[in-house]
Structure 1
Amino acid sequence: MPSMRTRPSRIVLIALLVVAALVLVAVVAVSAPILLHRSAGGSGQEIPASAVPETTARGADGRVRTLSAHDGDGPADLGAVAPGETLRIDGSGFDAGIGIYVAVCAIPASSEEKPGPCLGGIPEGAESGTVDESRLTSAWVTNDWAWRSFATHQYSDASEGSFSVTLTMPEPASTGLDCRETRCAIATRADHTAGSDRVQDMLLPAVYE
């Protein structure tokens, strides 16, 4: 007959095994989509030769994506962007199953390369879910249950793949990038869960004053 001393030990062991199993399930649930994600192809966008407030493209996944920029008076003049300027960035037709980053990034040499490097960095407080949305130089949009509490925004309508974020234009230069010397754009690109997928890449060329 087991002694009374062994029962608490068994209970503790069982509890630890249950906790370990739950942690393992959580890790698999978070990492599996990242490891198993397959690229849907490119966004199909022909990057505008000049600064325009809106662009549209049909991606390899059949979705028609639109990305636009507005200031307080209407369509934004991206040919004369100033640090500290506030712009509303709207998108539609995106795949809500793939999170995106929205930021000012270097325009890549090829559509097969992701936009970057980018200005603004990861929004302060993103790691703890306490982002101040009133002054964002970059944004993270996702509906993924495992990440949405850390993101700055969710898709406003998942079926339409629409979102709206307000960005404060960052200083034109940071480590590794100077948008006064390199052609840059307000860009969307897949977040870290689908980093090699180019289907969500949309760019609005922007020129700093």
Structure 2
Amino acid sequence: MRTRTRTALTSALALASASALTLGLASSASAATAGRTVTDGTRSYTLSLTAPNTAAATGANVTVGGTGYNPDQGVYVGLCAIPAGVNTADPATWNSKPTPCLGGQDETGTTGASHWVNSDWYWMSPSSSSPFTEANGLGSFSVQIHVKAKISDTVTCGQSGVTCAIVTRADHFDSSDRKYDVYVPVTFQ
């Protein structure tokens, strides 16, 4: 009896492990990475942004990671409409500020739709900001944001020609700087 119980338990654990591995692979497969190299002053940074490329239209919390950022330049991480003329595969076209964004410029952290990553002022908004993790003069982050297809009363991703992406962009201290824009296009199911 014990052998049968042990065998059944071992089989159940093996099946659960295989299922967990499959789910892990499926979620990894649905992530995309985008990047660009920028020069800021005398330093060059190779930015890399990894985010899901699909999400539930009704809303989902997603994890977004970034590496290679300038830890002296804060960035917002959020879901934004891709501006007209921007080709997400061509950083040379990234000349317009990604907007509108879900939750707007959420400096207070009330929507959960964006996250402010910066190494100087993150303590001002502890619910929606954090410092970069720094190593060798480069900043990285892993944050959670809430995304959904309807980003404003008049703008819905996937409708009326609106395409959207999870992006980083320079924070409100340098909001006209396009060097830190990186796009991972996202579609909603």
TM category, shorter: 0.5 to 0.7
* CA distance in 1 between partners of 2:163 and 2:133 (Å): 30
Q: Which amino acid aligns with 2:36?
A: A
The structure 1 residue matched to 2:80, chosen from 105, 112, 115, is 105
- Which position in structure 1 is the counterpart of 2:99? 116
The structure 1 residue matched to 2:138, chosen from 148, 160, 171, is 160
Q: Which runs of 4+ in 1 moved over 4 A?
A: none
Q: Percent of aligned positions with the same letter in both sequences?
A: 33
Residue by residue over 1:54-113, the C-alpha shift from the partner in whole angstroms, topping out at 9 and shown as x without a partner, is 1121113321000002xxxxxx3x145433322110001111111111111011224111
Do the aligned residues in 1 keep the contact of 2:75 with 2:169 (CA within 8 Å)?
yes
1:52 is displaced (CA, Å) by 5.8
Do the aligned residues in 2 keep the contact of 1:119 with 1:177 (CA within 8 Å)?
no
Aligned-partner SS, 1:59: strand
TM-score (normalizing by structure 1): 0.61
Distance 1:136 1:119, change over 3 A: same
TM-score (normalizing by structure 2): 0.67
Q: Which amino acid aligns with 2:99?
A: G
Do the aligned residues in 1 keep the contact of 2:103 with 2:151 (CA within 8 Å)?
no
1:192 is displaced (CA, Å) by 0.9
Structure 2: runs of 5+ lacking an equivalent: 1-29, 87-93
The structure 1 residue matched to 2:167, chosen from 184, 187, 191, is 187
* CA distance in 2 between partners of 1:197 and 1:86 (Å): 27
What does 1:31-50 correspond to in 2, within 5 Å? none
- Higher percent of residues as strand: 2
- Which position in structure 2 is the counterpart of 1:44? none
The answer to whether residue 68 in structure 2 is matched with residue 89 in structure 1 is no
* CA distance in 2 between partners of 1:171 and 1:153 (Å): 25
* CA distance in 2 between partners of 1:197 and 1:68 (Å): 21
* CA distance in 1 between partners of 2:35 and 2:168 (Å): 13
Residue by residue over 1:153-185, the C-alpha shift from the partner in whole angstroms, topping out at 9 and shown as x without a partner, is 111226221011111223424134221220110
Structure 1 or 2, whichever has the larger Rg, is 1
Do the aligned residues in 2 keep the contact of 1:156 with 1:164 (CA within 8 Å)?
no
* CA distance in 1 between partners of 2:158 and 2:50 (Å): 22
Do the aligned residues in 2 keep the contact of 1:89 with 1:166 (CA within 8 Å)?
yes
Alignment RMSD (CA, Å): 2.3
Do the aligned residues in 2 keep the contact of 1:106 with 1:117 (CA within 8 Å)?
yes
Q: Which amino acid aligns with 1:114?
A: K
* CA distance in 2 between partners of 1:161 and 1:100 (Å): 11
- Which position in structure 1 is the counterpart of 2:114? 138
Greater Cα offset, 97-106 or 170-179:
170-179
The answer to whether residue 35 in structure 2 is matched with residue 56 in structure 1 is yes
Aligned-partner SS, 2:173: helix
* CA distance in 1 between partners of 2:61 and 2:31 (Å): 17
Q: Which amino acid aligns with 1:95?
A: N
